[in-house]
Structures are given as structure tokens and as C-alpha cells.
Structure 1
Amino acid sequence: MARTITLCYRKLIDAASVRAWDKLVFEDTYAEFRLQAQNFNPGQQYRSFGQLLQHTPGAGQLHFLVSAAARGYVQQLGGLVPDVLDSLGRHFLKFSQFQFEIINSDLLDKSWHQVAVNFFSEPLLWHDTIGTALLVSEAAAEPPAGAAVPTTLFQLPPFLSIHSLHYPA
């Protein structure tokens, strides 16, 4: 009997990112970070995200506040996790939620800005592991015995992991 899994893909974006979508997220989240950080740094005593977190109460809100700059770009993905392809080279992994995170940033040096977007997949039925690939299908409903079900085979790329696992009763 297949187990139900939820996957998490952590997409890192920084100054070295080369894809157009990544660059847009990088630029807009850096601009938003600089704007929002003013609320936690009125005397401009601190220049790094780490310093703000360490010395300024409430600076942890910057993750949420800056995420507004990324939300529109995430919506452009049409519910498909970027960078994760099946064995036929197609995007297949649907996400139902995401979490934005500032990893590092500096108010005076954009090259230090680094963010992550964590994509959490919709549930999948995990049928088997073939070599280093997972064989999965959509988890809408467990098919009746003997029924054929469309499947997807894919390799686990870096930064993709099984977030949760549910065994049938």
C-alpha cells in the first residue's frame, strides 16, 4: 500500500542567481528589505539582517514583511515548483503553500542579500523507490485494487526532501 508524502523544495536566491525569475525576486526582496528595515533601525545603527535580529525587538517580522515582494512572483509559477523536473524533463510537482525566509542581508551591500523560498508540495502517493528515483502519483484518492494509475518518476535533486510521511491506517 502506498504511503502519502509531502515534499519540501528549498530554493536559494542570491546575487549569483542567473535565472530571470530568481533575479527579479532577488532585486525586489532586497529593495523591500531596505524599506522595511527602516522601521526597526530608526537611528541606522545596524546594517546587517543578523544585527537587526540580535538587537532590535520584533525584527523577526522582516521575514513576513519582505515576503510581500516575493508573493506575486510565486503566483506566476502557476502552482508548480520551479527547478524540480520528472524523468521526462517536465515540471510536475504542485505546491500548496510556501514560506519565505531571509537568510542574510546588508543594508549597504546588496551582494550579501540571500533569501530562500520553501515550497511545500501537495500530497503524493509514494509507490516505490527505483534506484535513486521516486515513483509517485497524485494523492487524490487511493485507486482500487487492480486499477492503473498515472505515475511520475523523478530523481531527488539537491534541496528537495520528504517533509512529511503518512502511513495508511
Structure 2
Amino acid sequence: MEKALIRLSYRQIIDAAAQTTFEKEVFNESYNEFLLQVQAYNRDQQFSTLEEVRKANPKAASLHYKVGFSVGLFIRSLQQRIPGLTDNQDRPLLFTGHQFEIIASDISDKRAHKVAITYTTDALTLLGIAGDYLVLSTGNQLQQITQQPVQTFLVKLQAQLSIADYMSAENISGNEVRNAVNNVSFGV
């Protein structure tokens, strides 16, 4: 596999089966905020589910954004550690961005409430694949690996993990690699 600059995304789904304190707090707070915010789009309470509300009022698409504010403190408490995602030595991977999404909800049934938080890492250098593991290095190491060894770590391929952005080393000239060390941009 060719070397590349990537960003990983990990999608954490939280529902009524929440196990950790973080998941339970996000579940409860996002549901309570959903009940509050959905009233603006469902004044007569003629709809029960998020899907029904969105079909009747396209402006309800902003509920993801509005409800997402309510869980911001809980996400900040993670100190940029992606819950449930570690390297092969059980060290957490760090995120630099996240996106909150309401997958489903029902104003009359809390058990139907389901949300997702997608965490995105900073730039990583993909050095290869070893079995079920991505061989990675933090930051942009494309120039360094030709001159000296770089520190690496392994992340197991798994459900909910994806490569969000990919830039092949072949597509980056030598000058661009040097300039990109502190300024990696994928157009996101």
C-alpha cells in the first residue's frame, strides 16, 4: 500500500442501551433537549417521531445542530480522547473535531432515541497495513520516513472506523510535503 496522509473518523452510536457514564449523560441530555427543541417544529404535537417532523418541516433538519449544543460539555470532558477507540497498546486516539447527529427519536418513547457522535482525528501518516491493522504515525511524516525512522502505532480496523480523508503521497510533490508538515488541508 502506498503511503498517504489521512484522517480517521470513528462513529459512536448511543441509544437506550448506553453503558458508560458518558453515554448515559449524552443519551439523557440529548433526549431532553430534543423534546424542548422539537416543539418549535411540532407546535400542535401532531407528529411523534423525528422522521415525521422532518418530513413535515424541512427546517427541523437544524435539530441535529441545536441538540448538539446540549452535549458539548460532555464531549469536552473527553479531553479529545475518542471513546472506544484505542491503538494496539490501549492508548486512546485523539480527536480534533466531532459531529453530532440524531439518528432517530420519538417524543413519546425515550427508548427510540438514538444519536451518533462522529469523531475525526488530526492528520496522520498511513504507512501501510499489517493484517487487520493500520500502521500509522502522527502528523505528516511523509518527508521524515525517507530520512530517519518515525514513531508508529497500530489501529485495528473495526466497525464504525473509517478513513475520512485520504491524500496519496504520490499526489504531493517534495515542496508540498515540506510545506504541509504544519498545514495539512484536505479541503474539509
Q: Structure 2-normalised TM-score?
A: 0.85
What code does the residue aligned with 1:120 have? T
Q: Which residues in structure 2 correspond to 1:6-21 (within 5 Å)?
A: 6-21=7-22
Q: Which residue of 2 aligns with 1:127?
A: 127
Q: Distance in 1 between matches of 2:145 and 2:155?
A: 24
Work out the number of aligned pairs and report it: 168
Counterpart secondary structure, 1:108: coil
Q: Which residue of 2 aligns with 1:81?
A: 82
Counterpart secondary structure, 2:69: helix
Q: Which residue of 1 aligns with 2:38?
A: 37
Counterpart secondary structure, 1:8: strand
Shifted more, 135-144 versus 75-84: the winner is 135-144
Q: Which residues in structure 2 correspond to 1:80-119 (within 5 Å)?
A: 80-91=81-92, 93-119=93-119
Identity across matched positions, percent: 32
Provide, for residues 51-86 of structure 1, a one-character-per-residue CA deviation record: whole Å limited to 9, x for no partner. 100112311010101001111111111112111111
Counterpart secondary structure, 1:81: strand
Quick one: structure 1 residues 132 and 139, their matched pair in 2 at CA, closer, same or farther if it must change by over 3 Å? same
Shifted more, 81-90 versus 21-30: the winner is 81-90
Q: Distance in 2 between matches of 1:13 and 1:134?
A: 26
> How far off its partner does 1:19 sit?
1.1
Q: Which residues in structure 2 correspond to 1:136-151 (within 5 Å)?
A: 136-142=136-142, 143=144, 145-151=146-152
Following TM superposition, the consecutive aligned residue runs of length 4 or more in structure 1 with deviations greater than 3 angstroms are none
What code does the residue aligned with 2:75 have? V
Q: Which residue of 1 aligns with 2:179?
A: none
Counterpart secondary structure, 1:11: strand
Q: Distance in 2 between matches of 1:17 and 1:45?
A: 29
Provide, for residues 27-60 of structure 1, a one-character-per-residue CA deviation record: whole Å limited to 9, x for no partner. 0000000000111111111111011001123110
Q: Which residue of 1 aligns with 2:27?
A: 26
Counterpart secondary structure, 1:33: helix
Structure 1 portions without partners, runs of 5+: none
What code does the residue aligned with 1:110 have? K
Q: Distance in 2 between matches of 1:107 and 1:127?
A: 47
Q: Distance in 2 between matches of 1:158 and 1:131?
A: 16
Q: Distance in 1 between matches of 2:146 and 2:11?
A: 35
Q: Structure 1-normalised TM-score?
A: 0.94
> How far off its partner does 1:13 sit?
0.2
Q: Distance in 2 between matches of 1:86 and 1:96?
A: 17
